Structures are given as structure tokens and as C-alpha cells.
Amino acid sequence: MHIFTAGVFVFLTAATASAQVQDGTYQPDRCDAGASDTRVVINGSSIRYHETLCALTNPTSVRGMEGAVLYDAQCSGEGETWSERVFMMPTAEGGFVQVRGGYGYTYQRCF
């Protein structure tokens, strides 16, 4: 099992729609608490967590769930590589929900 903390890149594709997760900095806890190992930064076609990089391919929209996308991910970090599925969906508050490795995470957007 892999632990995901602040520093993963995930490459998003051109299939990203306006209702999908937006570029920015996200954190599951308070954004004003300072930098955290749980911070996520999405910038263009990448998403960064701690010590992990994932390339997302084959984006598949989830029927009936606006902005929800399921990806195939090729990941590397801490000297290991692995494949997994990653689900991402924006929240009404401007953050996003991510499900990967059997766990769900909710991030709020930090401005």
C-alpha cells in the first residue's frame, strides 16, 4: 500500500472540462495552517503530492456525475512504480474529491 502525502504529479489531459477540477492549491485541512504534507497543487496538466508522480491517461467521464472523471494512472515515487485507477470530481465548494487506492479524500481549494 502506498501513502500519499504532499508531492505527486498527475498529468491531466485535454479532455478536462470547465466543470472539472481546476488549477490551484488544495488541502484536506485548513489552508491557513501553512504548508502541509497533505497539500496538493494542480497546475496545468499536473497534480503534485508528496514524493509521488502519476501520469493520468484514458479519461472517462462518469455518466450522471457532472465533472467526474476516472483515469488510468501510471505512478512512481520513493523508488517504486505502480498502476492504479484515479477518480476525481469537483465539489460544490470549489474543492475536489479524489478516490485512489481504495480510499477517498476531500480537498478544499486554497486561494
Q: Which residues of the chain have pLDDT under 70?
A: 1-19, 33-35, 43-46
pLDDT (0 to 100) of residue 48: 73
pLDDT (0 to 100) of residue 16: 40
The residue assigned the cell 480537498 is 107
CA distance 106 to 89: 10
pLDDT (0 to 100) of residue 34: 67
Is residue 90 within 8 A of residue 19, CB to CB? The reply is: yes
Q: Whole-model pTM? A: 0.73
pLDDT (0 to 100) of residue 62: 94
Q: Are strands 96-100 and 80-90 parallel, antiparallel or unpaired?
A: antiparallel
The alpha carbon of residue 51 and the mean position of all alpha carbons in its chain are separated, in whole angstroms, by: 14
CA distance 39 to 29: 9
